[in-house]
Amino acid sequence: MTVLTCASTGKSITLLGEPKISGEAKVWQTNHNGYLAKIYHSQTPEHVQKLAVMIAHRPKEPNSHLNHISFAWPKSVLKDAQGDCVGFLMPEIKQAKELIDVYNPSKRKALKLDVDWRFLHTTALNIASIIEAIHISGYVLGDIKQQNILVNDRALPSIIDTDSFQVRNPKNSKVYRCLVGSEGYTPPELIDKDFASTDQTEVHDRFRLAVIIYELLFGGDKPFAGEWKGSGENPELNERIRRGLWLYAPNSLIQPVARTIPFEIVHPEVQRCFLRCFNDGYKNSNLRPTAGDWVKALRLAVNELTICGKVDSHYYSRTHGKCYWCDRAIKLGIDIFPGFIGITSSSNTATSSSIKPTQSQVSQLAAATPETQALVIQPSVTSTIRTTSSSVQHTQSQFSQSETFKVLSIWIALVWCCIILLLITLCVVSVVSSKFDWFLAGIMGIGCCWRFYRWFWRVS
Ligand SMILES: [Zn+2]
């Protein structure tokens, strides 16, 4: 059993269980509930200095009001018995899935996740919002990829592996570079560059963010994947990115295939962002939309989503005018958002009306939420990342808990009213009969009842 010392608190941290091993470190459970320990295989002075800067200059958590961890930021350095830094303590992101599990239809099906297109839009919006907050603090994420983003059942993402970020020490401007990158997410100007000697900017992250958003909205497809129409072999992914060959480039040699989700079904403002990133931004990387631009565009897109009249898990953009998912199911025999059919039949009016306010609530929330805040999907209100098999049980359980609570509350309120009435009567009688010790007892009783009342509602 390995015991380390938390540098910020001086407390002992015990490493528990079997670690998850990555290229440069092992990640352990710890005896400190809610925290993991990342221990480097071999730490360097660079690691230690970079961690010190990160711990001293933590970006503002944009979703603290939602009690959410938007990024697993290093909390404290961990030291061994010799007092050497061996790694760091970071918050554990619980009950969340990798991004690919929610945007890839096959993975969703295998995991029985009930995720709709609105959930994916909301996730995209929230990722952009978190990345905007990180950029404002002067960090560059560097290795944005689906494996480094987890998402929970409220469509709230958490970015992990934050110690790979590019960090700039605000005191002396020393840059600790991001040494890793991932194929498919690396912008054309960085392909084949040596990351160890390349300073990055948030402009590079803008490309990676656009790829992630594209994957979320287009069923996991990459913008650079399609049917090759040029001569010779279809170039490798990195070569296509380097040459700016994506589906909607002018005269592109990559063309959509039958199962490609059409570009025009997303909101025009979102389309514009993709075109700016992969067309205009190919020639001039500064023209790529910022994370903030994506937040604005996706907020408009979420506001324009509406539920299909035939399948309760189909959302489409009013700007497109019809449900593409229904058309796709007929044309290809594939429904990537399968749900329950028959909402609009007259016998199901109640079901329909029970879902439509949910859509309305989400639109109102999107409109009312300040641009810097994340949009939340409430899992208890609508379908999100719940497993299909357990969703009914979950709903029933919530319903029965709610009913029990209601009955209990009514009984407690009745008993409480009776006691208050008795105590008031006691006070009145004691004043009339000049028994002031009874009066004091009555007043104290009322005080106790009031305290109990406040405690009960706070707890419940
Ligand atoms: Zn539909």
pLDDT in tens, 314-344: 999 999 999 999 999 999 999 999 975 544 3
Residue 294 contacts residue 273 (beta carbons within 8 Å): yes
pLDDT at 22: 86
Q: How far is the CA of 323 from the centre of ligand 1 (A)?
A: 5
Q: How far is the CA of 308 from the centre of ligand 1 (A)?
A: 5
Residue 351 contacts residue 361 (beta carbons within 8 Å): no
Q: Are 14 and 128 members of one domain?
A: no
We report the CATH number of the domain holding residue 346 as: 1.10.510.10
Which of 93-102, 165-174, 412-421 shows the lowest mean pLDDT across its residues?
412-421
Q: Which domain, by its residues, includes 13?
A: 1-92
* 158 domain-assigned: yes
Half-sphere exposure of 367 (CA within 13 A, CB side): 9
Q: How far is the CA of 274 from the centre of ligand 1 (A)?
A: 25
Q: Are 282 and 184 members of one domain?
A: yes
In the listed set 340, 357, 384, which residue is the last one of a domain according to the structure? 384
pLDDT at 355: 29
* 397 domain-assigned: no
Q: What percent of the chain has pLDDT over 70?
A: 82
Average per-residue pLDDT in the chain? 85
Q: How far apart are CA 393 and CA 399, in angstroms?
A: 10
- Using one digit for the tens of pLDDT, what is the confidence trace for 14-36? 999 999 998 889 999 999 999 99
* 395 domain-assigned: no
Residue 169 contacts residue 145 (beta carbons within 8 Å): no
pLDDT at 447: 76
Task: Please count the structural domains in the chain.
Answer: 3
- Using one digit for the tens of pLDDT, what is the confidence trace for 283-307? 999 999 999 999 999 999 999 999 9
Q: Are 323 and 442 members of one domain?
A: no
- Residue 11, pLDDT > 60, answer yes
Q: Are 164 and 248 members of one domain?
A: yes
Q: How far is the CA of 329 from the centre of ligand 1 (A)?
A: 9
* Span 450-459, average pLDDT: 61
Q: How far is the CA of 157 from the centre of ligand 1 (A)?
A: 27
- Residue 383, pLDDT > 80, answer no
Q: Are 88 and 99 members of one domain?
A: no
Q: How far apart are CA 150 and CA 99, in angstroms?
A: 6
pLDDT at 446: 76
In the listed set 92, 107, 128, which residue is the last one of a domain according to the structure? 92
Q: Are 169 and 280 members of one domain?
A: yes
In the listed set 384, 418, 451, which residue is the last one of a domain according to the structure? 384
Q: How far is the CA of 94 from the centre of ligand 1 (A)?
A: 33
Sheet of 149-151: strands edge to edge? Answer: 97-98, 149-151, 157-159
Q: How far apart are CA 168 and CA 50, in angstroms?
A: 9
Q: How far is the CA of 273 from the centre of ligand 1 (A)?
A: 26
- Using one digit for the tens of pLDDT, what is the confidence trace for 217-230? 999 999 999 999 99
Q: Are 380 and 408 members of one domain?
A: no
Ion ligand 1, residue ranges at CB < 5 A: 308, 310-311, 314, 323, 325-326
Give 32's contacts (C-beta < 8 A, 6+ positions apart). 6, 11, 13, 89
Strand partners, 254: 228
pLDDT at 332: 95
Say whether 316 sits in a helix, a strand or coil. Answer: strand
Can you read off the two tokens belonging to residue 134?
A: 């990180």
Residue 184 contacts residue 96 (beta carbons within 8 Å): no
Q: Are 141 and 154 members of one domain?
A: yes
Q: How confident is the model at residue 424 (pLDDT cuts 50, 70, 90)?
A: confident
pTM reported for the whole predicted model: 0.77
Q: Are 304 and 319 members of one domain?
A: yes
Q: How far apart are CA 346 and CA 325, in angstroms?
A: 22
- Residue 347, pLDDT > 50, answer no
* 390 domain-assigned: no
Q: How far is the CA of 324 from the centre of ligand 1 (A)?
A: 7
